[in-house]
Amino acid sequence: MDFTEHDAPDQVARRLESRGFSMVTMAEPGPPDAAITSLSAALRLGDPYIPALYRYAATKGYSDAYSNIRSDTKVRHPGFSTTAGQAWHVDGLLDDIGEVKTTILYCVRAAHRGGETLLFNSLAAFAELREKDPAAAEALLSPSALNRRSTIPAIDVNATGPVFSVDEKGDLITRYTDNETCTWNFSAGPPGGLRRALNFLRAASDNPRYRLAVRLTTGQALIFRNDRLSHGRQPYEDRPDAPRHLTRALYVNAPTCHTDEAVVACPAT
């Protein structure tokens, strides 16, 4: 979508409500912070959110409102600074489920090869599981099902919570993650349920019905609901003179529509 269209913000908000994500092309490539600020203002997202993990003294170096994601051997962040792929996760490792509602990724420069952002509709997969195996789905709702721990050197912190839950509006939300930060409590929920649930979700995340790969080019942004989709990344290769560079910002609000001067929740279309 061309973000210069007069109703682009409303279109984006509706797509996030119905699909969980939207891709936009800015008027012209520019400084990433300015581009993201323009997007967040148009979508009424408020100020960027600094995740709880980055409020410690040992992690202050990663606490910028706009995080640069690019290969850098001097940076020790296991996700931002490597060309390796990233397994499924949601942003906000220590934050409560659903706290980080929106993620914006702005592309300064694409990788020479690879580097696609992966999206997994874990809510839709959970809905299917709930129909086929209610006991397995119940295990994913257990408040002790999943522990996530920091893998950043010199900071030993973790948080335990459900994999799926229902928010204050009655909407289903997710923190489905399946990477090196995870410890699964297979005693949570009905016997054997969590193991069956994890096997189901792992298979579903490889199913094109639930999985999508997105490759951004310079000047494009991917906006997605972090509380409704899990995401990851394909490994990539850089050109030495033109490395891949994305900038990320997180928000505790979801985009809203503008109707007759009022700001309203955007209905799905």
State residue 264's pLDDT score: 46
Domains and CATH numbers, the chain: 8-263 (3.60.130.10)
CA distance 85 to 235: 4
CA distance 242 to 245: 9
State residue 1's pLDDT score: 66
Q: What is 95-119 written as a DSSP string?
A: SPTTS--EEEEEEEE--SEE--EEE
State residue 6's pLDDT score: 73
Closest listed residue to residue 37, CA positions, set 26, 50, 23: 26
Contact between 75 and 64 under an 8 Å Cβ cutoff? The reply is no
Distance set, CA 227 to CA 145, 155, 219 (Å): 17, 25, 25
What are 250's two structure tokens?
Answer: 């997180």
State residue 265's pLDDT score: 52
State residue 75's pLDDT score: 76
β-strand pairing of 146-149 with 220-225: unpaired
Task: Please calculate the CA angle 212-216-220 and round it to the nearest 5 degrees.
Answer: 125
Containing 9, the helix (H) or strand (E) segment is helix 8-18
Residue type, 211: R
pLDDT per position as a tens digit, 11-67: 999 999 999 999 999 887 779 999 999 999 999 999 999 999 999 999 998 999 999
Q: What is the pLDDT along the chain (269 residues), one digit of tens a residue?
A: 667 777 899 999 999 999 999 999 988 777 999 999 999 999 999 999 999 999 999 999 899 999 999 988 777 788 888 999 999 999 999 999 999 999 999 999 999 999 999 999 999 999 999 999 999 999 999 999 999 999 998 899 999 999 999 999 999 999 999 999 999 999 999 999 999 999 999 999 999 999 999 999 999 999 999 999 999 999 999 998 899 999 999 999 999 876 544 444 555 43
Task: Please calculate the CA angle 9-92-119 and round it to the nearest 5 degrees.
Answer: 60
